[in-house]
Amino acid sequence: MSAPRPPLVVVGGGVAGLSVALAAAPRPVLLLARGRDGGDSASALAQGGIAAAIGPGDCPTAHVHDTLEAGACHNDSTAVQYLAEQAPAAIARLQALGLAFDRDDDGRLRLGREGGHHADRIVHAGGDASGAALVAALWRAARAAGHIELREGQQALALLLRGGAVAGVCLSDAQGGSALVETAEVVLATGGIGALFAASTNPAGADGNGLALGLAAGAQARDLEFVQFHPTALAVGEGRGDGQPLPLVTEALRGAGARLYDDQGRPLMAGLHPLADLAPRDLVARTVWQTVQNGEGAWLDATALGEAWPSRFPTVHAACLAHGIDPATQRIPVTPAAHFHMGGLATDRDGRTGVRGLHAVGEVACNRVHGANRLASNSLLEGLVFGHRLGRQFAEAGVLPMPARGTHVWTGSGPAAGAEAMARLRLLLWNALGPVRDGTALAATRRMLEADADGHGWQGRLAVRMLAAALERRGSLGAHYRSDGR
């Protein structure tokens, strides 16, 4: 009798991990996720939706153009072409899973517009509850799939390598139990790093732990300096450094006519870009940041939506009301916040990291599809398209044999920072590595963290890598803005 084949292990229950797992059928997949039903993923928080050139007069070439323009042409144009061309099929697959996107009175898909897009091309569900609807549909499908074993409440802590190739994963659960799963193939789909910043829209678990795990295993990093800051998070308690997300005030509101103002009621974006309030995110985020740095408030006026608020933007509406703001009659106080990491583990378009058996996909990875700045609503799409592509490869390729030679080595990111050190680190990074950077602050923060190498745990070491990348890129590009740049 032959030994049972080790499963493909997918770490992460967001859009990227689920897309890999579903497409890998009939390969047996073990999917590990820290939370239940993907509730702790960034995917579940997404509001705006998914970009796809499916509207009248739109085409993938136009989507490619907008993606490259937002990304400052730092993108891999072949990856961008693939993303845009595969978008309509990704939407059709979701519809086949039963995801009901919002439609207008004539039954046509209602397409939204966000910053950097020159066409209405964002499909959404439940108004601004797109991510929750998407994640629910994918988890439903994963629970029904015979080839997927789901293990929730499990955290991947370390990778076992043999002769430099993947040989297993060490897991732990909330009760402190741990286990080893033998496998020659692991996909990291662990999301981003936003929770390392004092102001962030990301869930608390988006702390870069998968990125640190991959780096410890010998994978290369790419473009770590490129962090996207969302211009409009709800300005309530920012700067606390407690790792809890600020509610997002979706860009789709500006697509629906909302406008940014300063304390005096002057339009913030007037004359700064032909697309004004829908200019690329980095410019809008820096303008809001500068306004706040000048000691003024930045405000989003979306009162014109009036009674349509609860039905069109129920998530933002509820968040505003919870903080005593009625957005139908009052302007919304906003702040920029860390939102998305364009950088990550360097991969090719097939998610390969260079470590045999180790793949990465979604926000933890950098296949250069987003370049120096992600176009709005392209990241759920990235998870869907490149996750599906990777899953199909696992389905079609032979199973990688377990590495037979070499010494076994455990690779993990090491001890984590305590709560107090994390709060300090988040503030340090927000100030030095935020929307506006300069060499002096970057270098001083790096020196400070290097001098206290153990005090900030693996998060501190990851931060040092990001600061070094930002120092090295002396000029401004995309979301990386150096006020002292060339």
Ligand X SMILES: Cc1cc2nc3c(=O)[nH]c(=O)nc-3n(C[C@H](O)[C@H](O)[C@H](O)COP(=O)(O)OP(=O)(O)OC[C@H]3O[C@@H](n4cnc5c(N)ncnc54)[C@H](O)[C@@H]3O)c2cc1C
For residue 171 the two structure tokens come to 């897991």
d(CA 390, CA 21): 9
* Backbone phi and psi for residue 95, each to the nearest 5 degrees, phi listed first: -65, -35
Listed in sequence order, the residues at least 6 apart from 3 whose beta carbon sits closer than 8 Å to its beta carbon are: none
Residue 403, preceding peptide bond in cis (omega within 30° of 0): no
Residues whose CB is less than 8 angstroms from the CB of residue 336 and which lie 6 or more positions away in sequence, other chains included? 199, 229, 230, 231, 232, 233, 285, 286, 288, 289, 292, 434, 435
Q: Which stretch binds ligand X (CB under 6 A): 40-48, 218-226, 317-325, 459-467?
A: 40-48
| Choice from 77, 110, 151, 155 touching ligand X (CB under 6 A) | 155
Interacting span for ligand X (CB under 6 A) from 42-50, 73-81, 399-407, 462-470 = 42-50
**Cβ distance to ligand X smaller for residue 189 or 469:** 189
Rule CB under 6 A: is residue 126 a binding residue for ligand X?
A: no
Stretch of residues binding ligand X (CB under 6 A), selected from 46-54, 105-113, 286-294, 445-453: 46-54
Instruction: Decide if residue 80 touches ligand X (CB under 6 A).
Output: no
**Distance between CA atoms of residues 166 and 304, nearest Å:** 55
* Closer residue to ligand X (CB): 362 or 371: 362
Q: Does 210 bind ligand X (CB under 6 A)?
A: yes
- Could you give the CA distance from residue 220 to residue 215 in angstroms, rounded to a whole number? 6
Q: Show contacts with ligand X in window 291-350 (CB under 6 A).
A: 340
16 contributes a contact to ligand X by CB under 6 A = yes
Regarding 253 and contact with ligand X (CB under 6 A), the answer is no
Q: Which of 6, 383, 434, 478 is in the footprint of ligand X by CB under 6 A?
A: 383
CA 413 to CA 217: how far, in whole Å?
9
Q: Is 446 in the site for ligand X (CB under 6 A)?
A: no
Among 37, 40, 66, 223, binds ligand X (CB under 6 A): 40
Least separation in angstroms between CB 395 and ligand X: 19
Active site residues: 281
When asked if residue 202 is in the footprint of ligand X (CB under 6 A), the reply is yes
Closest CA to 94 of 64, 61, 123, 59: 123
Per-residue buried b or exposed e for 245-273, using 16+ beta carbons within 10 Å of the residue's own CB:
bbbbbbbbbbbbebbbbbeeeeebbeeee
Question: Does 411 interact with ligand X (rule: CB under 6 A)?
Answer: no
List of residues contacting ligand X (CB under 6 A): 11-17, 32-35, 38, 40-43, 45-50, 130-131, 155-156, 189-191, 201-202, 205-206, 209-210, 248, 340, 362-363, 377-381, 383
